[in-house]
Structure formats: C-alpha cells, structure tokens
C-alpha cells in the first residue's frame, strides 16, 4: 500500500503544472533557437524599436512551453550590450495581442492575455502585466 501511495504521488508530481517564471534568459535556457518562427510574425517592438518582445517555445515541458523573450539595451553597457529577460512556463501567450502603456516614472507596461497550464490538460486564462524599465534595466511582473 505504501508503494502504491508513493507511486501515485510521484506520478502526480510529474504531471504537476510549472509555475510561470520571470528571469534572465540565460537562466531559463532561452536563446535564439527558442524564438518562434517566422520571427516577424512572432515579435513586436516598443519604445521606438529599442525593446523587442518575441514569442518563444521552449519545447519542454510540452504543456507549458510558451513564453516571451524581452530584449533591450543594457543601461550599464554604454559600448552596446543587451539585456534579455524571459517569461516561461505558460500554455499559450501571444505578444501580438499585447496592449502597451507608458509611465515616465515606471517604464513600459505590457498587458498580455495568456493561458496557464493547470494540470497537463486544463488551462486557465490569465492576464500578464510586465513592467519594463529600460533606465534601470529591469522587467517585473505586476
């Protein structure tokens, strides 16, 4: 009986949904190969083309492989460098549906409809709000 309980617990944890994560691209394994193609139909630019947001597909986990890559100039690298942040572990998201607004003190706010994976089969509609502050070099979720 104990073995059966452990087996069931392991099976449930293997199918448990991953929580949405916001972090640096390199920490999440997000790179140019994860950008959905064709890139022109899966990306948008903001702030006079200085911020580029791409739809990405990390392939795994299959039920939560969608996300975004957000790239903008690194304010700490005047010689030219970029920062890359990623939002991962979503069932579906589409940057083409993003609505943007700007606050001079806080930065660019993107509001994007998305779907989270609940249990491998069920999804839940969510609204993602990402604040991109180029001056500070940050991306935060609101």
DSSP-based three-state secondary structure for 65:
coil
With tokens 């609204």, the residue in question is: 127
For the segment 39-95, what is each residue's pLDDT rounded down to a tens digit?
A: 999 999 999 999 999 999 999 999 999 999 999 999 999 788 999 999 999 999 999
Q: Average pLDDT for residues 11-34, to the nearest whole number? A: 79
2-35 b/e with 16+ CB inside 10 Å = b? eeeeeeeeeeeeeeebeebebeebeebebeeebb
The pLDDT score that the predictor gives to residue 2 is 46
This prediction's pTM = 0.85
Phi, psi angle pair for 74, to nearest 5°: -80, 115
Does residue 12 sit in helix, strand or coil? helix
Res 28 pLDDT > 60? yes
φ, ψ of residue 26 to 5 degrees: the values are -65, -30
Read off the pLDDT of each residue in 129-137 and give the average, rounded to a whole number: 97
The first and second tokens of residue 121, run together, are: 């089969």
Token pair in block for residue 73: 């100039």
């Amino acid at each position: 009986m104990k073995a059966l309980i452990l087996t069931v617990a392991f099976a449930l944890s293997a199918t448990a949904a991953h929580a949405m994560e916001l972090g640096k691209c390199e920490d999440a394994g997000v790179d140019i190969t994860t950008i959905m193609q064709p890139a022109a139909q899966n990306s948008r630019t903001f702030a006079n083309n200085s911020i580029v947001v791409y739809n990405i597909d990390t392939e795994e986990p299959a039920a939560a492989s969608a996300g975004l890559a957000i790239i903008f100039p690194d304010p700490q690298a005047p010689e030219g460098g970029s920062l890359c942040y990623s939002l991962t572990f979503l069932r579906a998201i589409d940057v083409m549906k993003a609505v943007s607004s700007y606050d001079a003190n806080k930065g660019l706010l993107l509001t994007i409809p998305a779907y989270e994976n609940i249990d491998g089969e069920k999804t839940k509609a969510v609204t993602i709000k990402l604040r991109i502050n180029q001056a500070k070099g940050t991306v935060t979720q609101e």
